[in-house]
Amino acid sequence: MRCPRCFDDYEPGVTRCASCRLELVPADQLETEDGAPPTPAPARPDPEALTPQHLGRFHPTMATAVLALLEGRGIDTEVTTHDDHTELAVAGTWRDDVRAELVLRWDELLESLDPDEAPGVLATGGHAAGWFDAPLGGYIDRDGKLVVDGPSEDDTDGSRTLGPAMIAGGAILAVSGWQVVELPALVLVGVGLIVLGLFLPR
């Protein structure tokens, strides 16, 4: 089975092209009369790949170094300046590649700083000083590209455990106060934690 637009081959059982999202057809239906393979149709532009996507929040000094790197590559960048940081955005087609390169070369960028500016950047701390929302890890995708994971602040699931933890802690306090130490105040605190934990979003 093959895609009628990009002509990628697929295993039996697959019904749609992963990139074009078109129904697959048997390969013999795509051959031309002279037996030559057909030429692929131009791919549809991906609107998400063309729109600027968040690259990162940087210390103003590091933002200057990152901008110089991007300008050297000929990559258009949107810059938003705030009081304490600078936000950069690049086209979606470049975002993952640029983030991967920055992760790999961040130490080089820090070493290239002016000695007078370096202490201010290094004082920001973190595993990538001067990059406030730096990725924490990465992996190699099927195409062999390094894909970096987003920062932990993007993950909202961490707050979902607070309610159940309060319920469990309240139950332990209530049972301990009732059965072990026979302290009514401890029972009330435990019941209060249970009720509060029930109303927190999960």
pLDDT tens digits along 162-184: 788 888 888 988 888 888 887 88
pTM: 0.50
d(Cα 157, Cα 180) in Å, to the nearest integer? 35
d(Cα 104, Cα 42) in Å, to the nearest integer? 34
- E strands present in 4-143: 52-58, 77-81, 86-91, 138-140
pLDDT tens digits along 116-127: 988 888 888 777
pLDDT tens digits along 93-146: 888 888 888 888 888 888 988 889 888 888 887 778 888 888 776 666 666 666
- Closest CA relative to residue 56, chosen from 129, 160, 135, 152: 135
